Amino acid sequence: MKLTIFGSTGQTGLQVVSAALAAGHEVTALVRHTASGLQPHSRLRVLHGQALSPPDVGRAIHGCDAVLSALGSREGRRETFLYSRSASLMLDAMRNSGVRRIIAVSALPLLPAEQKTFVERRIVHPLLDQFFGGSYDDMRRMEVLHAVAGMDWTVLRPPRLTNGRATGSYREALDSRLERARSISRADLAAAMVAAVDARRLIGHAVTIAH
């Protein structure tokens, strides 16, 4: 399949590109800096552009079969619009190009409050909010955009990401909590994103994912 990957130069994104190429897909990566860290590959097309530019996003998505986003803001607690604005542009471009499948990374604290334990709701997640609240607010906007767009969407909500190796062994829960969801390696998250491309059972779901 032809996959367009956003955030492909990030720690997770680089692994998404590798996993997609290893699975035999053709990959288009939209990158904003020249020194992107991506290794040349016969099935990798690198496009230079901005994730917040409608023409660049449109060009990256035109002709693909599925869109994967591992974009991540480094704004921490400060307000950001990267997730929601890029999602809005991706969904518009998909509509214009007849592309239906989109998979994006969100985060575990986006779990609805009623699914959290008392400790998560009252202590752990408010603490995380102090550091990453701006991103969580924007991920929430992104998730809503996905849910109302009428596309074949999946968001993956991982806990803490590590740089551990790919184990091929991770747990998923659809629209619900996972017990002891403490961490997952970026390599396994990347593999899960690529596997999600043709996993029909994940369409229309927020998936909690962890080792």
Ligand X SMILES: NC(=O)c1ccc[n+]([C@@H]2O[C@H](COP(=O)([O-])OP(=O)(O)OC[C@H]3O[C@@H](n4cnc5c(N)ncnc54)[C@H](OP(=O)(O)O)[C@@H]3O)[C@@H](O)[C@H]2O)c1
d(CA 65, CA 12): 21
d(CA 128, CA 72): 16
Binders of ligand X among residues 79 to 138 (CB under 6 A) are: 82, 105, 107, 135
33 binds ligand X (CB under 6 A): yes
Nearer to ligand X, 150 or 164 (CB): 164
d(CA 151, CA 66): 11
User: Smallest distance, Å, CB 15 to ligand X?
Assistant: 8
d(CA 96, CA 92): 6
Nearer to ligand X, 179 or 200 (CB): 179
- Residue 175 tokens read as 């629209």
Determine the residue type at 208: T
User: Smallest distance, Å, CB 11 to ligand X?
Assistant: 4
Residue 132: alpha-carbon gap to chain centroid: 16
9 binds ligand X (CB under 6 A): yes
User: Smallest distance, Å, CB 129 to ligand X?
Assistant: 13
d(CA 80, CA 210): 25
**Span from 41-49, 60-68, 92-100, 157-165 in contact with ligand X (CB under 6 A):** 157-165
71 binds ligand X (CB under 6 A): yes
**Span from 16-24, 122-130, 146-154, 158-166 in contact with ligand X (CB under 6 A):** 158-166
d(CA 109, CA 133): 10
d(CA 16, CA 95): 24
Nearer to ligand X, 74 or 200 (CB): 74
Footprint of ligand X on this chain (CB under 6 A)? 7, 9-13, 32-33, 51-52, 70-74, 82, 105, 107, 135, 158, 160-161, 186
